[in-house]
Structure 1
Amino acid sequence: MKSLVLERKDELSLRDFPAISKAEETLGPRDVRIKLHTVGICGSDVHYYTHGKIGPFVVNAPMILGHEASGTVIEVGSDVSTLTIGDRVCMEPGIPDPNSRATRLGMYNIDPAVQFWATPPVHGILRPTCVHPEAFTFKLPDDVSFAEAAMVEPLAVGVHAATKARVKPGDVAIVMGAGPIGLVTALSALAAGCARVFVTDLAEKKLDIAASLSPAITPIQIPAQDMVQIVKRETAGWGADIVFEATGSPHAARTVFEPLAPGGCVVMIGGQPDPIQYDAGAAMVREARVENIFRYAHVFPRCVGMLSSGAIDVKPLITRTFDFEDSVRAFEIAASAPPADVKMQIVLPQ
């Protein structure tokens, strides 16, 4: 079974990979077997490639990459009732322990025992097939393509962030960072009811893409433009109702309260590898609410529905597509962080 394997830091290969355990490939009564079609390259995949670890998750053995995926059901377990062979699907990549306290409370994304694709030691799905639970596999409407479906995973982060922000119709938001997560967060904020979203970034080309997504999106290039000054000017001095921090930059995180309106909300999305400075005084005088998100929960069906209805269009974010045979080259390009690219995807042989 040829797969894209991260052998170790800075070394990828496309090779047969017999190390998938028999247990992982055994079809249970409530599982489906999926032939993979399209897999997105996520920043976490690239980080494992370039650094060999993310926080406590260390690549100590060869690991298959990839967790943003769509495909076709080719086999169903005996107790599966909602999916049939031939169904086009997308898959939520985290499988929690159904008996854990977090899962029973509805917070399955923060179950410490969650098994998440391409998070060591769990293998990802840049491979021909996988077995996955029916409960975390979602049928696609005819008007949602495989490419769009592989965007549901990152889109779920943005929708989860907008949900945690408790967006109200007419809110003004700022999204710090115009990478894939920043842009799907901007789209999610608009779909949730924001009247206007300011998007900040260093890269002009990414801001051009942001501006093209909606007339309600205003790009701000940092540091040439002063984010606080622009937002205050455009809101009659009040500030933004919501600030989404999607850069993972400690410098950006230090500024989250500066453009925030009294009573506003900050949502921390970008992962921070180290402790960051936090202006407790600025938060206090605003009575700011601060939310943190870790991946997502309960939003995949909502994402599929919004793609199908046209409430959110992710197609402009897919900037480059590679054949599976070019997977190593695709990761090399992704690791170079081209400023004009947002989401790169890999299409497997069918």
Structure 2
Amino acid sequence: MPNAIDSSAVLAQQTPALPPKTLTKRVELNGDATHVSEENQVFVLRQKGEFFYETRRTPELPTSKHVLVKVLATGICGSDVHYWKHGEIGPFVVREPLVLGHESAGIVVKCGSEARTLKTGDRVAIEPGVPCRTCAFCRGGKYNLCDEMRFAATPPIDGTLATYYTVPEDFCFGLPEHISIEEGALVEPLSIAVHCTKLANITMGQTVLVMGAGPIGLLCCAVAKAFGASVVIATDIVDTRLEFAQRYAATHTYKMQSWSAEKNSESILSKGGIPAGADVVIDATGVESCIASGVFALKKGGTFIQAGLGASNIVFPVGELCSKEGIYKTSFRYGPGDYALAIELLESKRVDVKALITHSYEFESAEQAFAETGKNGGIKSIIYGPRK
């Protein structure tokens, strides 16, 4: 799904960070990690609020250019939780049982005859949306806008909370040896942040304001800093999230108040020491008051990136944006080059995603993982793949 739901309007209370598990022992327990079973264990949302486990046949490769990936780790996204709680997101409605999950990494266990860049045993991050490749959007370098996009865990397309998942070879990205499988799973939300910051054309020395310190907002802070921003301000309404943001990637933080957008923006700019305004504002909340405050905090001629979605219709200070000749852009998922750049940022250690992982669960405890994530516990939860 879009980055919107991943940065919900209701911001979570952070729990103390837990050390992430390693998958080294898990792979050893499984014996030959590339062995392919005929059984595919899946975690299914039957309907709103109701999960069950099911055993299906391991999927065949749809084409000779596909690979079969044994899923080892999957992050829980806000969209997954939203489908569980509400059964729909906008026009996407759960009408049939749906396998959730789309933030995943694993190991290649089978390759199609025409696969050239991957081999059995390769560790990969899965890009979970596959476009048609032939429409004007795809051929124009904006495949994220493809009308025929088949995106994992978006009805009616099943997701990755399973033992095995088939992916076109070119939508799998090899993981360098020192990047853990858990980090590989979080390449997906990191790619959303990469897409946002690329749209903003952030350069060395610029000032960036990020509204919202959920996972996407935090990653936007980290990527902006990696791109050379000298000031990165994170806002939120939860103290512990702001404390984490300060330790993680923000140079300044600000707790939003129940004031007017103008007054909040003045306080934000004062706190960050940028009276002329921020060169770039990224809203990762979708909240009307945050969006308005961000517009008022934007520098003349600056760029505003809308990453989060909330209500479909809001009151927007368009006059303020026009008087600044500001640039307003919207961001949807990710596109060509974003996954590769996200992995480069991890490989060079310019961005850290390990710090975001506060909870991890075995596949058999997936329902518990959703229940606790639904209570806004922690920042990012990982579900490990089935043992069999």
TM-score (norm 2): 0.85
Alignment of 1:53-202 (within 5 A): 53-202=88-237
Secondary structure of the 2:51 match is strand
Q: Which moved more, 1:73-82 or 1:264-273?
A: 264-273
- The answer on whether the counterparts of 1:72 and 1:88 sit within 8 Å (CA) in structure 2 is yes
Q: Distance in 2 between matches of 1:2 and 1:13?
A: 11
In 1, the alpha carbon distance for the partners of 2:319 and 2:309 equals 23
Say if 1:15 and 1:217 are closer, same or farther in 2 by CA, change over 3 A: farther
Residues 1:57 and 1:273: Cα distance change in structure 2 (over 3 Å) = farther
Shift of 1:199: 0.6
Q: 1:346: which partner in 2?
A: 383
Deviates more, 1:225-234 or 1:47-56: 225-234
Contact 2:234–2:245 (Cα < 8 Å) also in 1? yes
**How far did 1:227 drift?**
4.1
Quote the Cα distance in structure 1 between the aligned partners of 2:67 and 2:142.
24
Gaps of 5+ in 2: 1-39
Report whether the alignment pairs 1:15 with 2:46.
no
Distance 2:67 2:273 in 1: 50
Rounded to whole Å, the distance in 1 between the matches of 2:376 and 2:45 is 19
Q: What code does the residue aligned with 2:118 have? A: L
Q: Which runs of 5+ in 1 are unaligned?
A: none
Deviations 1:25-44 (A, max 9, x none): 33421111100000000000
Residue 17 of structure 1 deviates from its aligned partner by: 4.5
Structure 1 residue aligned with 2:254: 220
Contact 1:27 1:33 in 2 (8 A): no
Q: How is 1:224-235 mapped onto 2 (pairs within 5 angstroms)? A: 227-233=264-270, 234-235=272-273
Structure 1 position 274 matched with structure 2 position 309: no
Measured in 2, the distance between the counterparts of 1:96 and 1:349 equals: 28
Please say if residues 200 and 227 of structure 1, whose CA atoms lie closer than 8 Å, have aligned partners that are also in contact: no
Distance in 2, matches of 1:328 and 1:54, equals: 20
1:308 paired with 2:343, answer: no
Matching residue's letter, 1:210 = A
Secondary structure of 2:294's counterpart equals: coil
Residue pair 1:25, 1:130 contacting (<8 A) in 2 also: no
**TM-score (norm. length: structure 1):** 0.94
Question: What code does the residue aligned with 1:130 have?
Answer: Y
Q: Does 1:244 align with 2:258?
A: no
